[in-house]
Structure 1
């Protein structure tokens, strides 16, 4: 597992991490992420040291926690570390620094997640098979993967071509812009909700609108235009 995937897991399980760690441990996690963000990208030794600090502060998580189970497989050397890792770290630090949602907000979030999980989706074995048939060793990290406590990983079906095709390239481009690895629910909501600028749900407009128009809409959202 590369560092980006670890950071993505931390983002996906932010709430359970906040509950599992005590106040001091959570503050230390934020501090270690801050050190990672401040590290010079070209100084790989410093970046690896900062990533190791993030990894170590997550060790107190329960052994059956998804992030804790992934720690031993994280590779902190070589090409596994790059600009995307630092971008994920910056986005993750912002997200983890947000205050926990109030009950009313939590209820809204659960409703949105339930709506997104009701959309057509593929499970992990099917996604792996489709990726292999498309010449990919494993599902690209840009794919939106939603965590369903009852059914396991769910990959929204709009991300794949036809009835048996692999990932759609423009979807991966847009997901990268939306930082789907950090906020898969937000990325899924963008694709599966009405978009005034595009005139409909982006997922329903795949193949109908030029790819660059979809990319432009996502970029405008991220950049605040």
Structure 2
């Protein structure tokens, strides 16, 4: 696999990317609903589904467990690289949460198992100046969240979904799960977690999507 991503991005589904960029330009799916401040479980503009739709950039990297690695670096006291067995030997937790996708579907009661973000933070120990977390994926995708949102009780690096290993098309062997934000922030095929003093907008954030992505505020697209 090429870390520079030139070969991978050359094979992206350009039509999908351009289509979603137009969604941002046109404000598609915005309802104009008032801010409900999470008074309801289903965010505005969303529809409930029973399946788990597959959405990606046209690439589903196949990462053998014997070569899988995750690197945690940047502004941390203890930069860490885990191999698969080392990662799964760490403390694992179970969490149940909902998925809210920016393409207007939501799925309730997903059962996850994996390493909690708070356990990861206790291992790597971010420096005081670290304010942002940047996720890097094996398909060269990136996305960004504030450290304060990563440091939440329901955030984890999931290895299982509903009792089974997370399938490749859904981001296995390990994906991020951040329930309070639109699901594009929950990066699939995670390979690196970078702690930074400065924000670094990722793949969709520089293509017209909101930098934060709160579903209950309908922060689908950049409003600037």
With the length of structure 1 as denominator, give the TM-score of the two structures: 0.24
Task: Name the larger-Rg structure.
Answer: 1
Structure number having the greater helix percentage? 1
Structure number having the greater strand percentage? 2
